[in-house]
Amino acid sequence: MSEWLDVLAMHELDDPGSIGCRLEGMDGVPFFLVRKDSQLHAYRNRCPHTGAPLEWMPDQFLDLDKSFIECAMHGALFRTDNGYCLRGPCAGQSLEALGVREVNDRVQVDVSPLLESAAREPAG
CATH number of 4-115: 2.102.10.10
pLDDT mean across residues, the chain: 93
Q: What is the pLDDT of residues 1-43, one digit of tens each?
A: 899 999 999 999 999 999 999 988 788 889 999 999 999 999 9
Domain ranges of the chain: 4-115
Output the pLDDT for position 123.
54
Of 102, 108, 81, the closest CA to residue 2 belongs to: 108
Q: What is the pLDDT of residues 40-96, one digit of tens each?
A: 999 999 999 999 999 989 999 999 999 999 999 989 999 999 999 999 999 999 999
Q: Beta partners for 77?
A: 70, 87
> What per-residue string of b and e applies to 1-22 under the rule 16 or more CB within 10 Å gives b?
eeeebebeeeeebeebbbbbbe
Of 2, 86, 79, the closest CA to residue 34 belongs to: 79
Residue 111 has pLDDT above 90, yes or no: yes
Instruction: Please compute Rg for the chain using Cα positions.
Output: 14
